[in-house]
């Protein structure tokens, strides 16, 4: 029962509530299609508009091999059914800029698995660190911006492998009530930005290999605990001509209680400490910070669910020293109500309140993407 619980919960969270549809099956092969269309009206930053809620489509392939081995692969693309807008607020955006393409790559990996020997995958996939923090990333307002997942100003975590990491080799297995994921990110990547509003913004990043670990301990059918970290080396330049060569690390732990999308009480939280792992809202490196993400929810038998979240990412005194006394404290709460016709069709309303502190010369620019926001929408999952 414990193993079934953990497998079901992680699968639901990793798939973000999507229910796959089987479109082909024979004695050896199986193909599923999944994803969702999420359309919402959002009022924030003095703008009211229709926005995309990280809509996506994916195909999952599985093949039975000899000696109880299985081969599998997954391809997932983000799609924009509503067109590009002005409001920037979610974790699918590169350095805070909206996606210009109708379709773009989210995931793409292939692997082998065995019930006794675990699984090995290669490609663009969810990082081991996400195992530690995924249980709070459930509001329709994108979380993950304080957990160290969607790094580099709310990007997708591809650069340092904590979110949907690029070029990852990952091994997963379980030993009794403990499951784990260990990974390396095999790459040498240079990222260049063309313009700046601040001379201390990052103009170029050089990343080489990174490594990560996520461990989950299933206490019982309701409780689980997580622990993990991620490590890499980052070099770069700023627009003022200065350079840096630092260690990027994050470590932390979390817990979850209950079942999401099931009637009853649900709660989860995670805590992290990190160094040169993320940028502020102006794309300046954060030398050191700590983060908290949390959620509580209660779902009634009739499908009505109430949620409350609290998130905090606070830079240390090292940040103030680096940027002429500036303060960076990303802090927010989200309150919402959802109605589940079923787990595949949800209407929702959420309000996000900015509680942050961005004192400094560029406070107004820092606060823009943290503005209070009202969200009303519909998610239709396959």
Question: Which of 1-10, 177-186, 326-335 is predicted with the least confidence, judged by mean pLDDT?
Answer: 1-10
Can you say whether the dihedral through the CA atoms of 253, 258, 259, 265 is positive or negative?
A: negative
How confident is the model over 323-364, as pLDDT tens digits? 989 999 999 999 999 999 999 999 999 999 999 999 887 788
Mean pLDDT (the chain) is: 89
Q: With H, G, I as helix, E, B as strand and everything else as coil, classify residue 66.
A: helix
How confident is the model over 199-231, as pLDDT tens digits? 888 888 888 899 999 999 999 999 999 999 999
- CATH numbers and ranges of domains, the chain: 2-381 (2.40.160.10)
Query: Rounded CA gap, 185 and 170, in Å?
Result: 9
Query: Rounded CA gap, 51 and 286, in Å?
Result: 29
- 243 is written with which tokens? 């350079």
Q: How far is CA 172 from the centre of its chain?
A: 19
Q: Which of 82-91, 153-162, 343-352 has the highest mean pLDDT?
A: 343-352
- Helix H or strand E segment including 222: none
pLDDT tops 90 at residue 195: no
What is the structure's pLDDT at 99?
52
**What are the two backbone dihedrals, phi and then psi, of residue 368, each rounded to the nearest 5 degrees?**
-55, -50
What is the band of 163 on the pLDDT scale with cuts at 50, 70, 90? very high
């Amino acid at each position: 029962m414990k193993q079934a619980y953990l497998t079901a919960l992680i699968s639901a969270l990793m798939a973000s509530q999507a229910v796959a549809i089987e479109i082909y099956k024979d004695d050896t092969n199986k193909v599923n299609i999944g994803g969702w269309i999420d359309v919402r009206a959002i009022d924030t930053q003095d703008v009211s508009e229709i926005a995309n809620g990280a809509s996506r489509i994916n195909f999952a392939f599985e093949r039975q091999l000899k000696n109880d081995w299985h081969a599998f692969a997954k391809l997932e693309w983000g799609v924009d059914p509503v067109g590009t807008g002005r409001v920037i607020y979610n974790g699918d955006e590169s350095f805070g800029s909206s996606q210009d393409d109708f379709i773009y790559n989210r995931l793409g990996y292939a692997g082998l698995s065995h019930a006794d020997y675990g699984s090995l995958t290669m490609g663009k996939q969810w990082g081991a660190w996400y195992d530690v923090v995924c249980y709070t990333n459930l509001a329709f307002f994108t979380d993950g911006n304080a957990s160290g997942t969607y790094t580099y100003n709310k990007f997708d975590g591809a650069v340092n492998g904590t979110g949907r990491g690029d070029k990852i080799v990952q091994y997963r297995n379980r030993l009794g009530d403990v499951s784990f994921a260990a990974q390396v990110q095999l790459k040498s990547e240079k990222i260049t930005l063309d313009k700046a509003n601040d001379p201390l913004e990052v103009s170029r990043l050089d990343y080489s290999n990174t490594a990560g670990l996520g461990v989950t301990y299933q206490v019982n059918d309701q409780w689980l605990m997580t622990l993990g970290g991620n490590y890499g080396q980052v070099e770069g330049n700023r627009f003022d001509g200065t350079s840096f060569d630092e260690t990027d690390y994050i470590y932390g732990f979390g817990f979850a209680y209950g079942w999401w999308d099931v009637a009853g009480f649900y709660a989860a939280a995670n805590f992290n400490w990190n160094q040169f792992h993320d940028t502020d809202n102006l794309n300046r490196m954060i030398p050191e910070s700590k983060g908290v993400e949390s959620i509580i929810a209660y779902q009634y038998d009739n499908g009505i669910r109430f949620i409350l979240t609290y998130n905090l990412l606070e830079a240390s005194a090292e940040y103030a020293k680096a940027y002429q006394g500036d303060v960076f404290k990303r802090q927010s709460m989200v309150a919402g109500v959802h109605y589940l016709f079923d787990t595949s069709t949800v209407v929702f309303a959420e309000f996000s309140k900015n509680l942050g502190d961005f004192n400094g010369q560029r406070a107004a620019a820092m606060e823009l993407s943290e503005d209070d926001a009202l969200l009303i929408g519909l998610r239709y999952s396959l």
